[in-house]
Amino acid sequence: MAADVYNWQAPSISVDRFSHLLGMIYESALDTAKWVRCFEEVCNEFSANYVSLIVQQSVPTKEEGLIFSGSDDRRLIQQHNPHLSLSPFRGLPLDKLVTIGDMLSEAEWRSTTYYQAWCAPHEVFHVMAVDFATADRSVYGFRLTRPESAPPFSSEDRALCERLVPHLKRALNLYQSTHQDRRITSLYSQAMVQLMVGVIVLDEHGMVIETNAIAKAMLQSGDGLKLIGNHVTASYAMDNRKLQSLVAEALRAPSRVGLIEAMAVSRPSGQASWGVVVRQLATDEWTDGKHRPAVAIFVRDPEGASHPPVKLAQQLFELTPAETALAIQLTNGLSLEEAAEALGIRRNTARAHLRSIFSKTGVRRQTELVRIFLNSVMLLGTSEVAELAPAR
């Protein structure tokens, strides 16, 4: 953008104020609930009545755009704009800041359907706009507006906006990266839960900082493993000495070695012992704070009952609902007679179902059936997502 065309001049904003605006933009990238307050601050700085971020531009298959906004008096315009496809700012060259005066005469602007249907009812007359693309090639529209009673945007306003937009782009890149990491972590956590694996994360002092839902339930049961002073302990002294030794060794070992040790933890209930794996986590070279993830403890319940989605089991093995119900009972360790009783069916009926299951799955023994069920992808098909939750 040529400086002589727009009579460019440095924006009259203090370093502290500019730093404050940037801080709000980057904080909003980590906490989207702060975007509205951030836009309100930007509104005040530009003496605007609205600041809007068009997240979803109008496309042929969707007539309504998606807009997030802030205003000078905390009013919010509706998020979906049914007239966005009519906007003269649609399809702007990327990173080129324009005002309505750069595109249309005042008479032309007033005569547009977009102005009459959308802008005038919202007291929008002066508009400053820029479109930009983030790293994933998503195109966002940034808009600042003023009512007709206010002066048009000045060259100082343009200069300040041009300095803010690159930071807005970086913040959205940060949000996309962080959000994607969170979603991937959530999927991993879901898989661990469905495989009945508890995950406990310890800091550099061996204190629990995070657990997933399975681990939390295991610890709360107090059956072999429990929390004492935010440390994971085993119920029996011999098991506890070994567990603490493994954790201490993982904490002492040089970083990035990836030390992995395993043990069995007996349970007072008499159920099969917990299978426990202690694994060292590589440290982050760029941080030196406290409560950093240092060790992970994975706990598996060998007797944990599986609850695969019935529909997926039917689809995967082409079983009837009755056959699926029987197969799930057998997978959870019941004998054929026990499964028949649990389902309220006759033993001969259960045997007929089992023969049909064998035929459809291609197995010959009940142990093989259990194996293919437990090793199938259907256990990962539940819609429940168990996030890593802070330890209580």
CATH at residue 370:
1.10.10.10
**In a domain? residue 190:** no
Single out the residue in 304, 335, 369 at which a domain terminates. 304
| pLDDT tens for each residue of the chain, 392 residues long | 333 343 445 567 889 999 999 999 999 988 888 888 999 999 999 999 999 898 865 444 444 556 788 887 766 666 677 778 888 998 899 999 999 999 999 999 999 999 999 899 999 999 999 999 998 888 899 999 999 999 999 999 999 999 999 999 999 998 888 877 666 666 565 555 555 788 899 998 999 998 988 899 999 999 999 999 999 999 999 999 999 999 999 988 765 556 788 899 999 999 888 889 999 887 665 555 567 888 999 998 776 655 566 777 777 788 888 998 898 888 777 889 989 999 999 999 999 999 998 888 888 888 777 777 766 555 545 544 333 333 33
Number of domains, the chain? 3
Given a contact cutoff of 8 angstroms between Cβ atoms, the answer to whether 161 and 174 are in contact is: no
**Same domain for 269 and 210:** yes
At residue 76, the pLDDT reads: 64
**In a domain? residue 56:** yes
Burial class (CB in 10 A: 0-12, 13-18, 19+), 298: middle
**In a domain? residue 373:** yes
Single out the residue in 304, 320, 337 at which a domain terminates. 304
**In a domain? residue 359:** yes
Of 389, 392, 390, 381, the residue nearest 191 (C-alpha): 381
At residue 192, the pLDDT reads: 56
**Same domain for 350 and 225:** no
**Same domain for 314 and 167:** no
d(CA 38, CA 32): 10
**Same domain for 165 and 81:** yes
The residue range of the domain holding 372 is 310-380
**Same domain for 277 and 217:** yes
**Same domain for 8 and 124:** yes
What is the CA 197 to chain-centroid distance, rounded? 21
**In a domain? residue 385:** no
Which CATH number covers residue 243? 3.30.450.20
From residue 220, how far is each of 171, 211, 213, 392 by CA, in Å? Answer: 40, 12, 11, 10
**Same domain for 260 and 236:** yes
192-248 pLDDT per residue, tens: 555 578 889 999 899 999 898 889 999 999 999 999 999 999 999 999 999 999 999
**Same domain for 151 and 19:** yes
Residues facing residue 54 across a β-bridge: 67, 141
At residue 391, the pLDDT reads: 39
Which CATH number covers residue 149? 3.30.450.40
At residue 321, the pLDDT reads: 87
At residue 97, the pLDDT reads: 96
Single out the residue in 126, 153, 181 at which a domain terminates. 181
From residue 101, how far is each of 1, 123, 177, 372 by CA, in Å? Answer: 16, 17, 36, 69
At residue 324, the pLDDT reads: 87
At residue 319, the pLDDT reads: 86
**Same domain for 237 and 175:** no
**Same domain for 314 and 294:** no
**Same domain for 299 and 329:** no
**In a domain? residue 386:** no
**In a domain? residue 200:** yes
**In a domain? residue 93:** yes
At residue 386, the pLDDT reads: 37
**Same domain for 125 and 24:** yes
| Residues written for the chain | 392
